[in-house]
Amino acid sequence: MIDARARDLLTPLPDVLRIVDRLERHGYETWIVGGAVRDALLGRPPTEWDLATAAPPEVVRRLFRRTVPVGLRHGTVGVLGRDGVLYEVTTFRRDLATDGRHAEVAFTRSLDEDLARRDFTINALAWHPLRQELRDPFGGQDDLQRRRLRTVGEPGQRFAEDYLRILRAFRFAGRYELDVDPTTWAALVAAVPQLPRLSAERVREELVKTMATVPRPSRALELYARSGALAVLYPELHATVGLADGFGADVWTHQLRVVDALPPRPLLRIVGLLHDVGKARTPPPDFPGHAEVGAALARDLLRRLRCSNAEVDRATHLIAQHTSLPPLDASDAELRFLLRRLGPTFVTDFWRLRIAICRATPALGHQGAQLLQLWRRLRRVQQARPPLRVTDLAIDGRDLRALGLPPGPAYGAILQALLDRVTEDPARNRPEVLRALARAEAERLGAISPSDGG
């Protein structure tokens, strides 16, 4: 039995109902399965509608005009609805063999066999939208009510079938605020040493999903630490557990608090998780240079996870710069120098990170209002579009040649010095002013003599 709220939430979209109806009219039992049913029973609107059917993939493709072969080996066909959404329809399956990473499956006509191969009882649920019937052979509804995460069947066997289920357990426990069943937890901990058998891509995607879907990721990340998975997968982070940070907590706990204070943007939350990782390699209590050391450690970790070059560069730049907070009473010139160091596309995320660090650090809590005020000032400075790069200067190399300066490495030094002067006062960014400043800088560098250039 399900309550009226869950029943209403499980009223499928018209296209979902059409797909079920057509398959059923041709004699193929079809159910809504997995996350949609779980979320509805928790009172949450489903975000995706996955279907399981007795129809083989070739039959699904024959019955529907617009299909995509999403994963034919595993029985999954995407059916494109009239609403433009691709709905995944998967043939009932049973496992023939597994190696801890992948499963060899066979198709079956039994829903219960299909549900029996799933990871946790809360995911082994099915709803028949035409008959208004819940299928729950493993007690998933009761586990949801008891806020308990439990495997389907024998836990050790379930984890041995696919070790990614260890990381999925952390994510589900965190997202739905569940306690892991003791028997399931013991088997999970025993399986943790097998995690290196997983591909880097699967490990990364599970971390990304945790950061994207868990309101307070610390609930899931604490399970990584408690189980030993943190030491196995992320030794750089494990080194911060128990390391005093000088603010009344350990570095690991501080980083978790920062993650929870950030918006659910996966890469930014990963930056929050890693921002102080360099403290494990720098001397306390001040941890000099930890931002740069942390950026190098983060680069190695993110490359190990096969993140894209753009993601690695963005994350490591934010980590390297996260200590670059100007004084709360900074001048506009100091704010312009900060914009130069960060780069315009990093400013918003840098500030989100700094505000999260403030909120996560009780000793800095009083600075929150001042930080927001400084952020508003920085935004005003940025909106004035100050020159931040050499290419923004009102003169260039041709003007330096016109001053009689022969081409060479001095050009770069002179233009950089001009940019510094313009950052101090953007009103200097005029050709006649910059030419005079360039001549003085060239003379100071010995590139030209005072008598050169007329």
How many domains does one find in the chain? 4
Q: Based on the fold, state whether residues 403 and 358 are members of the same structural domain.
A: no
**Weakest mean pLDDT among 97-106, 170-179, 265-274, 343-352:** 97-106
Q: Based on the fold, state whether residues 246 and 377 are members of the same structural domain.
A: yes
Are 202 and 164 spatial neighbours (Cβ–Cβ below 8 Å)? yes
Please give the residue that has the higher pLDDT: either 447 or 11. 11
Q: Based on the fold, state whether residues 11 and 48 are members of the same structural domain.
A: yes
The model's confidence at residue 366, banded by pLDDT at 50, 70 and 90, is: confident
pLDDT of residue 249: 83
Q: What is the CATH number of the domain that holds 174?
A: 1.10.110.30
* Number of Cβ within a 10 Å radius of residue 359: 18
User: Which residues lie below 8 Å from residue 207, measured CB to CB, with a gap of 6+?
Assistant: 167, 266, 270, 305
The model's confidence at residue 452, banded by pLDDT at 50, 70 and 90, is: low
301 assigned to some structural domain: yes
Q: Which of 211, 214, 216, 170 is nearest to 189 (CA)?
A: 170
Q: Based on the fold, state whether residues 52 and 106 are members of the same structural domain.
A: yes
DSSP string, 400-435: HHHTTPPSSTHHHHHHHHHHHHHHH-GGG-SHHHHH
**Ramachandran area for residue 75 (φ above 0: left; ψ -120 to 50: alpha; else beta):** left
Are 381 and 338 spatial neighbours (Cβ–Cβ below 8 Å)? no
114 assigned to some structural domain: yes
- Identify the residue whose tokens are 């050790």: 156
Of 12-16, 168-172, 324-328, the range with the highest mean pLDDT is 168-172
What length is written for the chain? Answer: 454
Report residue 156 CA to chain centroid gap: 29
User: Which residues lie below 8 Å from residue 9, measured CB to CB, with a gap of 6+?
Assistant: 39, 40, 43, 44, 45, 46
Q: Based on the fold, state whether residues 209 and 242 are members of the same structural domain.
A: no
18 assigned to some structural domain: yes
Q: What is the mean pLDDT of residues 116-140?
A: 96
pLDDT in tens, 395-414: 999 999 998 888 888 899 99
Q: Based on the fold, state whether residues 134 and 164 are members of the same structural domain.
A: no
Q: Based on the fold, state whether residues 269 and 331 are members of the same structural domain.
A: yes
pLDDT in tens, 248-305: 789 999 999 999 999 999 999 999 999 999 999 999 989 999 999 999 999 999 999 9
Report residue 207 CA to chain centroid gap: 7
Q: Based on the fold, state whether residues 97 and 194 are members of the same structural domain.
A: no
Q: What is the mean pLDDT of residues 422-440?
A: 95
Q: How far apart are CA 221 and CA 12, in angstroms?
A: 34
- Look up residue 68 and give its amino acid: V
Beta strands at 67-71 and 76-80: parallel, antiparallel or unpaired: antiparallel
Are 279 and 240 spatial neighbours (Cβ–Cβ below 8 Å)? yes
28 assigned to some structural domain: yes
Q: What residues are paired with 30 via a beta bridge?
A: 53
Are 11 and 40 spatial neighbours (Cβ–Cβ below 8 Å)? no
The model's confidence at residue 102, banded by pLDDT at 50, 70 and 90, is: low
**Ramachandran area for residue 26 (φ above 0: left; ψ -120 to 50: alpha; else beta):** alpha
Of 359, 386, 413, which closes a domain? Answer: 386
Q: Which of 5, 12, 17 is nearest to 44 (CA)?
A: 5
Report residue 196 CA to chain centroid gap: 21
Q: In this structure, what token pair is assigned to residue 26?
A: 């041709």
Please give the residue that has the higher pLDDT: either 47 or 247. 47
Question: By three-state DSSP, how is residue 93 classified?
Answer: strand
- Percent of the chain predicted with pLDDT > 70: 97
Mean predicted lDDT score pLDDT of the chain: 93
Of 195, 217, 233, which closes a domain? Answer: 233
Q: Based on the fold, state whether residues 305 and 376 are members of the same structural domain.
A: yes
pLDDT of residue 454: 44
In 109-199, which ranges are continuous DSSP H helix? 111-116, 140-145, 155-161, 164-175, 182-191
Q: Based on the fold, state whether residues 240 and 259 are members of the same structural domain.
A: yes
241 assigned to some structural domain: yes
403 assigned to some structural domain: yes
Q: How far apart are CA 112 and CA 125, in angstroms?
A: 10
Q: How far apart are CA 29 and CA 55, in angstroms?
A: 8
Q: Based on the fold, state whether residues 10 and 139 are members of the same structural domain.
A: yes
Domain that holds residue 363: 235-386
The model's confidence at residue 67, banded by pLDDT at 50, 70 and 90, is: very high
Of 128, 145, 162, which closes a domain? Answer: 145
Q: What is the mean pLDDT of residues 311-320?
A: 98
Q: What is the CATH number of the domain that holds 337?
A: 1.10.3210
Q: What is the mean pLDDT of residues 79-84?
A: 93
454 assigned to some structural domain: no
Are 414 and 445 spatial neighbours (Cβ–Cβ below 8 Å)? yes
Q: Based on the fold, state whether residues 277 and 355 are members of the same structural domain.
A: yes
pLDDT of residue 100: 60
Q: How far apart are CA 262 and CA 268, in angstroms?
A: 8
Q: How far apart are CA 446 and CA 69, in angstroms?
A: 69
The model's confidence at residue 99, banded by pLDDT at 50, 70 and 90, is: low
**Weakest mean pLDDT among 88-102, 144-158, 209-223:** 88-102
Is residue 322 over pLDDT 60? yes
pLDDT in tens, 354-365: 999 999 988 777
Q: How far apart are CA 201 and CA 156, in angstroms?
A: 24
Q: What is the CATH number of the domain that holds 62?
A: 3.30.460.10
451 assigned to some structural domain: no
